[in-house]
């Protein structure tokens, strides 16, 4: 697993909030104030810089840190997340960091912060009052920090920085995934719509590259009917960190019409008699999950020189 160091430079706390969110979502991470960065950054594969926009003082200490650790940072994946009132300022401030680093970052993004006049220091208030007066802009509270936006930025950042660098061929990875799926027959099925969420332990049948589920009904359909996006988790019991095996599958659910050709085919494969099914006092519903992405954590990949976590995106 790639390890991330998240360095934040903040004056009023919003950049720290963003760093905290990144730390949780990016995972395998340590968060540090720019004034207390760990001495040894060699431990980390990724470094994420989070800073607020403060005019001429923007990222002053972050630039100094990059300058002092430039050689070490060149071999790492680097992300830059700017927090401010306007996204238009991001390119300018990010470019200043790129100059210090000597290259572009692997990921750059903006999160809207907030200006609350009553929270400003006396010095900052005077500077900003003059700036807003020159720009002919009313000097008042503005901007609105949204946790959801910060979460989305952190998720995009995680996808870029944690992408495996040592990967098997697509064919090898697909074979390993298929073998693991066929070693099991039960999963945890995650569904949700709005504030409603459900996680259902359920038996599956893996057929024609899709997961099929037979069900008498239940609340999982409440979610599927409103939101087809589902997540499937299949895993071995945990023993130790050297023997991890777990698969997360993202996909879209589709309810199969009763007694359709596809319905009948799956029931036959399952060994269920179609005549008996039609004579039952209830119906057995069938739905499937078409896979869009596999995320496979398998410690055995390391034995062949690959990253333990692999991602396989299935094209349409």
- Six-digit token pair at 140? 């008042």
Q: What CATH number did the domain enclosing 20 receive? A: 3.40.50.360
Is residue 78's pLDDT more than 90?
yes
CB 221 within 8 A of CB 280: no
Distance CA 94, CA 187 (A): 44
Task: Give which of 27, 21, 29 is closest to 159, Cα–Cα.
Answer: 27
Question: Under 8 Å CB-to-CB from 52, ≥6 apart: which residues?
Answer: 9, 10, 11, 12, 14, 15, 58, 82, 83, 84, 113
Which residue is it, tokens 């970052």? 105
Q: Are residues 19 and 145 in the same domain?
A: yes
Which residue is it, tokens 């963003």? 18
Distance CA 182, CA 130 (A): 68
Question: Under 8 Å CB-to-CB from 247, ≥6 apart: which residues?
Answer: 177, 180, 181, 232, 233, 234, 235, 294, 295, 296, 297
Q: Are residues 108 and 216 in the same domain?
A: no
pLDDT category at 29 given cuts 50, 70, 90 is very high
Domain count, the chain: 2
Of 130, 161, 192, the last residue of a domain is: 161
Q: Are residues 57 and 85 in the same domain?
A: yes
β-pairing, 196-203 vs 205-207, is unpaired
Per-residue pLDDT at 117: 64
Per-residue pLDDT at 288: 97
Q: Are residues 96 and 229 in the same domain?
A: no
Region 15-33 average pLDDT: 95
Task: Give which of 187, 199, 201, 216 is closest to 281, Cα–Cα.
Answer: 216
Of 161, 181, 214, the last residue of a domain is: 161
Question: Under 8 Å CB-to-CB from 162, ≥6 apart: which residues?
Answer: 1, 2, 4, 26, 27, 46, 309
Q: Are residues 243 and 273 in the same domain?
A: yes
- What is the percent of the chain with per-residue pLDDT over 90, rounded to a whole number? 70
Task: Give which of 225, 293, 291 is closest to 255, Cα–Cα.
Answer: 225
Average per-residue pLDDT for the chain: 90
Region 218-247 average pLDDT: 94
* Helix (H) or strand (E) run with residue 234 in it: strand 229-235
Is residue 130's pLDDT more than 80?
no
Per-residue pLDDT at 291: 97
Judge residue 46's burial from the number of C-beta atoms within 10 Å of its C-beta, 0-12 exposed, 13-18 middle, 19 or more buried. Answer: buried
Q: Are residues 289 and 154 in the same domain?
A: no
Per-residue pLDDT at 217: 93
Lowest mean pLDDT across 134-148, 193-207, 236-250, 280-294: 134-148
Q: Are residues 234 and 304 in the same domain?
A: yes
Region 94-110 average pLDDT: 92
Lowest mean pLDDT across 117-131, 206-220, 230-244: 117-131
Per-residue pLDDT at 202: 97
Query: Phi and psi (nearest 5°) for 173?
Result: -65, -40
Q: Are residues 214 and 291 in the same domain?
A: yes
Q: 32-62 pLDDT, tens per residue?
A: 999 999 888 899 999 999 998 876 678 899 9
Per-residue pLDDT at 316: 57
Among the ranges 79-88, 133-142, 263-272, which has the highest mean pLDDT value?
263-272
Q: Are residues 153 and 175 in the same domain?
A: no
Q: Are residues 96 and 188 in the same domain?
A: no
Reported as half-sphere exposure (CB side, CA atoms, 13 A), residue 125 has a value of: 9
Distance CA 78, CA 75 (A): 9
Q: What CATH number did the domain enclosing 250 receive? A: 2.30.110.10
Q: 241-278 pLDDT, tens per residue?
A: 888 999 999 999 999 999 999 999 999 999 998 888 88
Which residue is it, tokens 């049948």? 205
Lowest mean pLDDT across 145-154, 160-169, 245-254, 278-287: 278-287
Q: Are residues 22 and 157 in the same domain?
A: yes
Q: Give the CA dihedral 156, 2, 309, 111, nearest 10 degrees.
A: -10
pLDDT category at 312 given cuts 50, 70, 90 is very high
Domain of residue 236, residue span: 170-313
Q: Are residues 30 and 89 in the same domain?
A: yes
Of 142, 161, 180, the last residue of a domain is: 161
The more confident residue out of 255 and 113 is 255
């Amino acid at each position: 697993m790639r390890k991330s160091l998240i360095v934040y430079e903040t004056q009023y706390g919003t950049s720290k909030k963003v760093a905290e969110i990144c730390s949780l979502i990016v995972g395998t991470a340590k968060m540090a104030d720019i004034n207390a960065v760990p001495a040894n950054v060699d431990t980390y594969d990724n470094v994420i810089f989070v800073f607020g926009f403060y005019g001429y003082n923007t990222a002053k200490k972050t630039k100094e840190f990059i300058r002092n650790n430039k050689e070490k940072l060149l071999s790492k994946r680097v992300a830059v997340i700017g927090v401010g009132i306007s996204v238009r300022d991001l390119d300018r401030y990010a470019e200043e960091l790129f100059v210090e680093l000597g290259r572009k970052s692997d990921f750059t993004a903006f999160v809207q912060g907030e200006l609350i006049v009553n929270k400003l220091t006396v010095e900052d208030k005077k500077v900003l009052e003059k700036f807003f007066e020159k720009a002919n802009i009313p000097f008042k509270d503005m901007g609105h920090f949204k946790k959801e936006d910060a979460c989305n930025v952190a998720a995009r950042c995680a996808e870029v920085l944690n992408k495996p660098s040592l990967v098997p061929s697509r064919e090898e990875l697909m074979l390993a995934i298929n073998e693991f799926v066929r070693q099991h027959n039960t999963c945890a099925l995650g569904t949700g719509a709005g504030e409603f969420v459900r996680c259902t332990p359920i038996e599956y049948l893996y057929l024609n590259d899709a997961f099929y589920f037979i069900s008498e009904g239940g609340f999982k359909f409440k979610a599927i009917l409103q939101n087809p996006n589902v997540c499937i988790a299949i895993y071995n019991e945990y023993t130790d960190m050297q023997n991890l095996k777990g698969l997360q599958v993202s996909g879209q659910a589709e309810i199969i019409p009763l007694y359709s050709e596809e319905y009948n085919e799956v029931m036959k494969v399952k060994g269920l008699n179609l005549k008996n099914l039609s004579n039952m006092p209830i119906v057995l519903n069938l739905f499937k999950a078409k896979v869009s992405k596999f995320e496979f954590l398998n410690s055995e990949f390391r034995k062949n020189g690959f990253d333990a976590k692999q991602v396989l995106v299935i094209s349409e």
